[in-house]
Chains A and B, each alone.
Chain A
Amino acid sequence: MTLTELSEIKVAAIAESGVTSEAPVPAANWPEWFRRDQQAAWADFLSIPEPKRTDEPWRFANLKALDLSDYTEASEVENEEALVARSTGFENIAAKLIFANEKLIQGETAGLPEGVLLLPLEQAAREHEVLFKKHFMSTPVRLGSKKFAALHRARLRTGAFLFVPKGVVVERPIEIWHWVSGENAAIFPHTLIVLDDGASATVIDRFVSASGERSLAIAVNDLTLGVASRLSYVGVQDWSRKTTAFHLNTTEVEKNSTSTALQMNFGGSYIRGESDSHLLGEGSRSVMLSINPADKTREIDQRTFQDHFSPRATSDLLYHNALADASRTIFAGLIKVEEGAHETDAYQKVRNLMLSDEAEANSMPGLEILADNVRCTHGATSGELNEDELFYMLARGIRPEQAAQLIVRGFFGTVLERLENPTLEEQLGLILDRKLNL
């Protein structure tokens, strides 16, 4: 085969299975009603207009990154064992699911307490239809990526479903791996977590590329917390440097329950994160955290919403960005206190640590308060490395580059502390050390 022939075949292949141009083939293993749902989602995707520069949810964003026309459906991976072998993360976990290119390649769930369901999504849709329908992407996407959420819904093939029944406590973490493999491959990872009243769980989502290839990931997680439940959720995003990724979250927190969610963004070229917390019950609490070491020409674009519907709820957001090289970050957060949500306590803080003259940080911390007797504060700061701290370390013989990295590590460490979970903090700290070459 000549080179020209090869390239023609490649072009043909793109035209055939482009994720934005070709209607998805109805997924096998799914109930009929879900297939219809996917068709409707595809129609939504086609009809929702592309984001425009003047759209407030896309202010400052680099819209060029949103051209998804040359991504194709990911095909089954050949080296499943190799990926399973590489899926070594946390020690002492309760369960592990490994997905690669829209397929579950391994599941270990023996360590889970009785009654806890950890299933691939399609099985949950078949066997637990009511539960699935009630919680699967049930709240509208409000932070800008409606079109991309519709694409996710239309094209996803599988995902993780966790249900923890009333009063059950899952002590050890559950780890879920999402691999993407293949040039221009697109995947649609999904994690749906439902905690019944009084339940408790810790879930780690790991997002990884098999190699340095260019790919697209549109990931969605729905976190639903029943009365007096507790969830710790961590997304460790480590896509290849050429990946465009969307991480869209919705969290619903009922009375007296606490959600703590952390997103760490290590990889990707363009990352769009949307975190939408609904504080539905009295005394509910949502802690929203993010750690973003940005370098090269990466763009990390994060939009958040702390929506208080009920009185006496608390939300607490802390995002730390360290910007090296010509990287760019965007943070747009909104605290909204709905009418009647009195005695709300909401806090929002974004800190930008500027490590280079080429970097750019944009912050839009917003407040909308429609109730009184509230305490809402937000803050945004941008600054550089502290000269005194640097000097102190240099005086003790630490090299300048390492001194800077140590300060960055400390800067991120304060976010990890907010997890209030020493085991998680330690294990995530190790990942952080490795990523910062410490």
Chain B
Amino acid sequence: MSTETKTDLDIDRSVGDFRYEMDYAYDAGVGLTEATIDYISDVKGDPDWVRAFRKEGYRKFLEKPMPTNWATKDLDNIVFENIRYYLAQGQQASRSWDDVPAEMKETFERLGIPEQERKFLAGVEAQFDSEAAYSNIKAAVGEQGVIFVGSTEGLKEHPEIFKKWFGKVIPSGDNKFSALNSAVFSGGSFIYVPPGVKVKHPLQAYFRINAQNFGQFERTLIIADEGAEVTYMEGCTAPKFETATLHSAVVELVALKGAKIQYITVQNWSSNVFNLVTKRGLAHEDAEIKWIDCNIGSRLTMKYPGVVMKGKGARGEVVSIALAGDGQHQDTGAKMIHAADNTTSNIISKSISLGTGRSTYRGMVHVPKHLKGCKNNTECNALLINSHSRTDTYPAISVRGQGNAVQHEASVSQISAEQIFYMQQRGLSEAAAMSLAVNGFVNDLVQQFPMEYSVELKRLIDLEMEGSVG
């Protein structure tokens, strides 16, 4: 189908496209220097080791070049001096929505967070700019010994578990943006699930950027002890500003022997957000880490969730859906590092490019020497809607030695004219037919999301597709 573009991408964003004037009690000002880091550390009352960790991250951030030798030149449009690195109303997240400041509460009410919490979540954390405004966990879950708090509270209240894994899965010098996050991180979740505890309902975090020129740098650490199971979901929105906003998170997952972690993201940032996120999990013996990732919003997303399969029989999986509309670049993918025998990994990626949108898959699969019985399967499918849409695939696969099986398949296609014709014959409009075809393309992946999310996803895709045929 060679159709010209006429997409209206703002429709679905109206949900998140509002903001409140806030008087922030804590503001680190504009730009990043060592003084900014000291300010953040002072305000948050960081222990000395955290302050040192931040400074080390800052040094590495300055040292590291922009990865524009392989990544898009659009990164050069981020002006680090113009960003506000820390904005907060208070330091302590409220346990009850009644104690949340009115504007923040209203923000989250409009986004439907408290309602969802009542309906189907085991715990919620809601972050407003730099700090969590609300954090609560259902009593029954808390009684099982599950810890679900913000990263600041986690490092202060549970240093014995926190320190052991913090920065271990993703060293601060992993890349320029993980270094930046290490320097100025604030907010994010700390979760610990004790041995054998299976958290039935998902825990959720919601990230909201409210202020212009603001950079959000949350840091999440999830540890599932032996045999534990947990599902974590995150959502995010921001109003549409005139200038670009930066979101650069670091998420570390640790699944100990036999544990299972599912991490679900529905990213719907407004189309001026640079979303540069580092996510990686460490899977011990027989553990399983699964990233379910959906990227619909942002100007540029660079995100390659990874799993390091450290223990025998560990399993890693990435399921990824990306929708790149006009002016958007979804640069997503996966990293699978096999580091023990009989580890298996699976990557399924589907992307849709419409209008002038560009979707990119980047993958890395690594099977080092002397491992046996490792398996990887990678499938990437890209769908192009308009003649100016673009899609790229850049996998890198390294295999050493025999006794392992690795396969990668990718294809690029478009909606077949026959399909559309068939549906139109049966009385559907062309737009409805397109929408149906696109939903069909991603349907098998959408079903992997929890019910509430998959319904929402279908609606988002419908809206994004609206007006794309003309």
Please list the residues of chain A having a beta carbon within 8 angstroms of any beta carbon in chain B: 54-56, 59-60, 339, 342, 352, 354-385
Closest 9 interchain pairs by CB?
A357-B401, A367-B393, A384-B402, A354-B402, A382-B399, A372-B384, A376-B412, A382-B406, A360-B400
- Across-interface contacts of B384 in A (CB, < 8 A): 369, 371-374
Which residue of chain A has its CB nearest to the CB of B394? A366
Pick 13 A–B contacts, CB within 8 A, sort by A: A352-B399, A357-B369, A360-B400, A366-B392, A367-B410, A367-B412, A369-B390, A369-B392, A371-B387, A372-B387, A372-B414, A373-B414, A382-B399
B138 at the binding interface (Cβ < 8 Å): no
Which of A372, A376, A382, A385 is B397 in contact with, Cβ under 8 Å?
A382
- Pairwise interchain contact A361-B2, C-beta atoms closer than 8 A: no
Closest chain A CB from B438 CB (angstroms): 14
- Across-interface contacts of A363 in B (CB, < 8 A): 395-398, 408
- Pairwise interchain contact A372-B392, C-beta atoms closer than 8 A: no
Which of B370, B382, B403, B409 is A369 in contact with, Cβ under 8 Å?
B382
- Pairwise interchain contact A377-B398, C-beta atoms closer than 8 A: no
Which residue of chain B has its CB nearest to the CB of A367? B393
* Whole-angstrom CA separation of A55 from B67 in the bound complex: 11
Closest chain B CB from A323 CB (angstroms): 9
* Whole-angstrom CA separation of A363 from B385 in the bound complex: 29
- Pairwise interchain contact B412-A369, C-beta atoms closer than 8 A: yes
- Pairwise interchain contact A380-B395, C-beta atoms closer than 8 A: yes
- Pairwise interchain contact B410-A360, C-beta atoms closer than 8 A: no
Residues in B412-469 with C-beta less than 8 Å from chain A = 412-414
- Pairwise interchain contact B400-A365, C-beta atoms closer than 8 A: no
Could you say which of A352, A363, A369, A384 has the most chain B C-beta atoms within 10 Å of its C-beta?
A369
- Across-interface contacts of A377 in B (CB, < 8 A): 409-412
**Given A357-B402, A362-B398, A377-B411, 13 extra CB contacts under 8 A:** A54-B69, A354-B402, A354-B404, A363-B408, A367-B393, A369-B382, A372-B1, A372-B414, A373-B414, A382-B405, A383-B404, A384-B403, A384-B404
Residues A366 and B399 in contact in the complex (CB < 8 Å), given A374-B412, A378-B410, A381-B407 = no
- Pairwise interchain contact B401-A369, C-beta atoms closer than 8 A: no
- Across-interface contacts of B367 in A (CB, < 8 A): 382
- Across-interface contacts of B410 in A (CB, < 8 A): 365, 367, 377-379
* Whole-angstrom CA separation of A387 from B270 in the bound complex: 53
B389 at the binding interface (Cβ < 8 Å): yes
Residues in B239-262 with C-beta less than 8 Å from chain A = none
B70 at the binding interface (Cβ < 8 Å): yes
Closest chain B CB from A344 CB (angstroms): 9
- Across-interface contacts of A382 in B (CB, < 8 A): 367, 397, 399, 404-407
- Pairwise interchain contact A378-B393, C-beta atoms closer than 8 A: yes
Closest chain A CB from B332 CB (angstroms): 15
* Whole-angstrom CA separation of A8 from B84 in the bound complex: 66
* Whole-angstrom CA separation of A362 from B414 in the bound complex: 30
B152 at the binding interface (Cβ < 8 Å): no
Which of B391, B392, B398 is A361 in contact with, Cβ under 8 Å?
B398
B298 at the binding interface (Cβ < 8 Å): no
- Across-interface contacts of A354 in B (CB, < 8 A): 399, 401-404
* Whole-angstrom CA separation of A375 from B403 in the bound complex: 33
- Pairwise interchain contact B369-A59, C-beta atoms closer than 8 A: no
- Pairwise interchain contact B413-A375, C-beta atoms closer than 8 A: yes
- Pairwise interchain contact B402-A356, C-beta atoms closer than 8 A: yes
- Across-interface contacts of B389 in A (CB, < 8 A): 372
Which residue of chain B has its CB nearest to the CB of A360? B400
Which of B397, B401, B404 is A380 in contact with, Cβ under 8 Å?
B397
